[in-house]
Amino acid sequence: MSKRQLFNVELRPTVGSRFQPTGFPDIGNALFDRPLGDGTWEQALLVESAQSMANRLEGTAWDDGIEVPMPVFDGLPYVRVMKGDDYLTSSRTEAHRLASAFVKDSSLDGENMKAVIKERLRLKEDRPLSYREIAGGVFALDPFSLIHGVFFAEAAKVWPGQPKIARAITGMIEAHDVRRAESGGVKKDLVRHAILKGQGGSAEGYGSIPFHRTEWTAQRIVAMFAIDIGQVESYGLPDSATSLLLAIARWEVATLLDGGLRLRTACDLEVAEQGPITAGDGTELESPDTLAVEIRRLIDECGGSLGTGAPMLVEWDGGGKKKP
For the chain, what percent of residues have pLDDT higher than 70? 98
Mean of pLDDT values over 71-93: 96
pLDDT in tens, 234-259: 999 999 999 999 999 999 999 999 98
Residue 319 has pLDDT above 80, yes or no: no
Most confident of 26-30, 154-158, 255-259: 255-259
pLDDT at 298 over 60: yes
42 with 31: CB under 8 angstroms? no
**Mean pLDDT of all residues in 34-53:** 96
Q: Is the pLDDT reported for residue 223 higher than 70?
A: yes
- Report which listed range, 186-195, 198-207, 213-222, is most confident: 213-222
Per-residue three-class SS string for 112-140: EHHHHHHHHCCCCCCCCCCHHHHHHHHHH
As a whole number, mean pLDDT of residues 87-91 equals 97
As to burial, measured by CB atoms within 10 angstroms (0-12 exposed, 13-18 middle, 19+ buried), residue 196 is: exposed
pLDDT above 80 for 34 = yes
pLDDT band at 2 (very low <50, low <70, confident <90, very high): low
Residues sharing a CB contact under 8 Å with residue 213, sequence separation 6 or more, in sequence order: 182, 183, 184, 185, 266
pLDDT at 1 over 80: no
Per DSSP bridges, beta strands 209-228 and 312-316 are unpaired
User: What value does the mean pLDDT take over residues 118-135?
Assistant: 92
Report which DSSP code applies to 181. E
Contact 90, 314 (CB under 8 A): no
The Cα–Cα gap between 91 and 122 comes to 20
The torsion defined by the Cα of 132, 133, 136 and 141, in degrees rounded to 10, comes to: -140
Q: What is the mean pLDDT of the chain?
A: 92
pTM (two decimals):
0.91
Other CB atoms within a 10 A radius of the CB of residue 317 amount to 14
- The pLDDT of residue 320 is 63
Helix ranges (DSSP H) in 223-264: 229-234, 239-258
- Asked if 76 and 67 count as a contact pair (C-beta separation under 8 A), the reply is no
